[in-house]
Amino acid sequence: MSRRQLNILIAATLAVAGCAHAQAGKDLVFGTSHDENSPHFLYASAYLEQLCAESGQRCTLRSLPGLRAEAMLASGALAGEMGRIKGYILRHPDYVRLDDPFVVSHTRIFTLASKDITSWESLAKNVKTVSYKRGIFLYQQRLEALRPAILPHEVQSEAACLQMVLAGRDDACVFDDGGISADARSMLAQGHSSVSVEDLPLYIYLGKSQAALAPSLSDAARRLAARGLPAQLHRKFYEAK
């Protein structure tokens, strides 16, 4: 091998190594549809930081509209998503879902006055017009299945959903009690929130480009659970709100 060829080989090797080092030092970005000031986001962000550190990664969480996060993960712009239900894998079979949910959300119905709403079916018996946050596919499925008894439609945020009821434009708002931002939480006192009509375990999903990380992240999640981290974070972000 000539000196020139050797120099080219060394330069190429260093370039590859430098690229790999840069990639290794890069934060993995995850998306979630929850508002940055909501308990869900604060919990998920703290949990993700610990989870990734436990498995030797660096990760950050971004609040994004649900449909945008879905599109960004499909394009590879995100490493994964946090806060999707178990059935999300049916829409994206090429993704990888971590073994266990990281939190459970509680679906409630907000109305101006107390109504006998304890299930999706009883919702249809008590109200006509219902709003819900755009991009929550499960809510869309549940509500569309109740047509024509109810008339559902999407709004931009949980706060907008609550406001539709307070303004008298809708009879009810379907919301996730952990998704309400601190700014919007005061609105809950102006009406009535039902018992949970559905509890939803929420999962972390990895895009296909990051699928190899799933075993180490799932193992890390089990270690964190054994040390009591989820319960600790739950007390901090939900019970102390």
Q: 33-37, 39-43, 109-113, 211-215: which has the minimum mean pLDDT? A: 33-37
Q: Can you list the alpha helix ranges (DSSP code H) found in 76-197? A: 88-91, 120-126, 137-144, 158-166
Comparison of pLDDT for 124 and 4, the residue scoring more: 124
Identify the pLDDT of residue 161: 97
Beta bridge partners of 175: 108
* Average pLDDT for 120-129: 96
Angle between helices 214-226 and 39-54 (to 10 degrees): 110
Contacts of 56 (CB under 8 A, 6+ apart): 216
Superfamily of domain 105-199: Periplasmic binding protein-like II (3.40.190.10)
* Average pLDDT for 156-168: 96
State the CB neighbour count (10 A cutoff) for residue 222.
13
pLDDT level of residue 178 (50, 70, 90 thresholds): very high
| pLDDT digit string, tens, across residues 193-207 | 999 999 999 999 999
Report the C-alpha gap between 150 and 162 in whole angstroms. Answer: 17
Closest by CA position to 122, among listed 153, 141, 164, 150: 150
Report the C-alpha gap between 136 and 124 in whole angstroms. Answer: 19
| pLDDT digit string, tens, across residues 54-70 | 999 999 999 998 889 99
Q: 7-11, 86-90, 141-145, 212-216: which has the minimum mean pLDDT? A: 7-11
Dihedral sign from CA coordinates of 143, 133, 156, 85: negative
Residues of the chain with CATH 3.40.190.10: 3-104+201-239, 105-199
Identify the pLDDT of residue 19: 34
The token pair that represents 28 in the structure block: 């993995």
Superfamily of domain 3-104+201-239: Periplasmic binding protein-like II (3.40.190.10)
Collapsed DSSP state (helix, strand, coil) of residue 134: coil
